[in-house]
Amino acid sequence: MDAVGSDGSVETAEVPEEGKQRFLVVHDYGMGGSWWWIRARSVREIRETFREVEVVHDAETMSRAEADPDIEEADVDAAVMPDGLDELRDDRDAQRGRSGFGAFAERDVLYLRRRWDEDMPEMFLFEVGADGRRRREVLLAEDGPWLKNDADDWAINAPIVDFYDPELVEQEIGRDEFEAAWARAEWDPDRQV
């Protein structure tokens, strides 16, 4: 609906697209994160559109975000996205056509074998929740005991995987393999608990 301002200009009121809601979204990178308000039809649509994002449901966090004028807003269908969010969408678009895209989107738990990062030779087994955060891990040391940790051990537990990522298909292991390694492993002597 248009309204006429006191100076005679015509102001067009923004009418939200049918079926869209406003969601608070964060790209958590451990020591911080990037935040946006995104209008979309569902949480799933957001996760399918942007790589490595989390939709926040915590009322206290959402209330604080409402009061923050620096959090940018975007529409999931917009051609232009705010800085940072544009890259997450481009990355997701590149993944979309690959085999395995979204294979684990409906999973609650995933078991993986992977390196912590490409520069480290150590191999880890991870139990990861649907939010992409580690629940438990086992370090498969080549020259020492296998060490285990759980979520109580980490001061920072940012998401480490995105369940839509097609590369996860090659990293998946079975629950039995993870549990056998967990049973064999010793608690990490540097454990913080």
Residue 19 has pLDDT above 70, yes or no: yes
Q: Is 112 helix (H, G, I), strand (E, B) or coil?
A: strand
Is the pTM higher than 0.85? The answer reads no
Q: What confidence score (pLDDT) does residue 17 get?
A: 62
Mean pLDDT score across all residues of the chain: 88
The residue to which tokens 């604080």 are assigned: 64
**Sequential DSSP letters for 54-105:** EEE--HHHHHHHHT-TTSEEEETT-SS--TTHHHHHHHHHHHHTSTTTTTTT
Mean pLDDT of 137-165: 90
Give the pLDDT band of residue 193 (cuts 50, 70, 90).
Answer: low
Q: Using one digit for the tens of pLDDT, what is the confidence trace for 77-91?
A: 999 999 999 999 999
Domain ranges of the chain: 12-96, 109-187
Which among 111, 114, 96 has a CA at the least distance from the CA of 166?
A: 96
Q: Is the pLDDT of residue 173 over 80?
A: yes
Distance CA 175, CA 184 (A): 14
Task: Specify burial of residue 34 (Cβ count, 10 A radius: 0-12, 13-18, 19+).
Answer: middle
Q: How many CB atoms lie within 10 A of CB 7?
A: 5
pLDDT value at position 32? 84
